[in-house]
Amino acid sequence: MEVVIVPDAAAGGELIAEAMAALLRRKPDAVLGVATGSTPLPVYRALEAKVRAGAVEVGRARIAQLDEYVGLPADHPESYRSVLRKEVLEPLGINAEAFLGPDGTAEDVAAACASYEAALTAAGGVDLQLLGIGTDGHIGFNEPCSSLASRTRIKTLTEQTRVDNARFFDDDIDQVPHHVITQGIGTILDARHLVLLATGAGKAEAVAATVEGPVASVCPASALQLHPHATVVVDEAAASKLRLADYFRHAYANKPAWQGI
Ligand code: F6R
């Protein structure tokens, strides 16, 4: 996998937004897989700036959700559908019809998962999947020891993830759902390009395990090592535990510009 060390979150956001814009210029109806949480916000703001500047058209783009809480009403401000409407669809001016996501309110969760898998397939698959990473190494909400071949299904959040996410729920862990629907690791690996963004020292250990550790389900993000086109974009703090940081800097500095990420 390629590791790109950037000075800060804004530079990571700009780099990834430019990769998304380049994809949309080549393929205007591309499917962009999007994550929620704090980390991807600089990407969405940088992409919004490009759209406003007329540097890219998103009128035919499609947006696919990575994961969703189970049991939160769809209009709850912290349902990931609501968050993506506010952070991605509305600012970019993308219609709700172009949005693909699992139904976290479904009575039959297994059927909702199967129907989301079918919708992704019918859309032609995800072209570029943006990922964050949990402090425990999760991608999507594939918590440690998730099958590396898993498909979209229900998962139970770890206590650590619920503590990490309580900040979105008035710092009240009791409000954080226990269950989620998440694209599986196998589903994520089907995307044509995976781009993981990690910022801050709190992610340094998970990043080192992802990039330099063994491929092991105990660190779900390590599955990116199996993907032919995976890019890990990290700021200096998140890169601080990488043994090969100097090599990654050297390789990226000497990469032909036309290659992009
Ligand atoms: C959210 C998701 C999660 C987050 C991860 C990091 O859709 O898939 O894997 O990316 O929990 O969250 P932040 O960015 O808030 O640290």
Cβ(199) – ligand 1 distance below 6 Å? no
**Cα of 37 to ligand 1 centre, how many Å?**
5
**82-126 confidence digits (pLDDT tens):** 999 999 999 999 999 999 999 999 999 999 999 999 999 999 999
Burial class (CB in 10 A: 0-12, 13-18, 19+), 123: middle
How many of the other CB atoms lie within 10 Å of CB of 239?
26
- Best of 141, 183, 185, 224 to mutate for ligand 1, by most ligand atoms within 8 A of CB? 141
**25-59 confidence digits (pLDDT tens):** 999 999 999 999 999 999 999 999 999 999 999 99
- Boundaries of every domain in the chain: 2-254
CATH number for region 2-254: 3.40.50.1360
Does an H or E element contain 26, and which? helix 9-26
From 101, 73, 70, select the one nearest 88 (Cα to Cα). Answer: 101
Which stretches does DSSP call E strand in 148-244?
A: 153-156, 179-182, 193-198, 230-235
- Best of 85, 126, 138, 195 to mutate for ligand 1, by most ligand atoms within 8 A of CB? 138
From 89, 97, 98, select the one nearest 44 (Cα to Cα). Answer: 89
pTM of the model: 0.98
* pLDDT average, residue stretch 154-175: 97
Predicted local confidence at residue 257, as pLDDT: 85
Cβ(38) – ligand 1 distance below 6 Å? yes
Cβ(36) – ligand 1 distance below 6 Å? yes
Q: Which residues are catalytic?
A: 67, 136, 138, 143
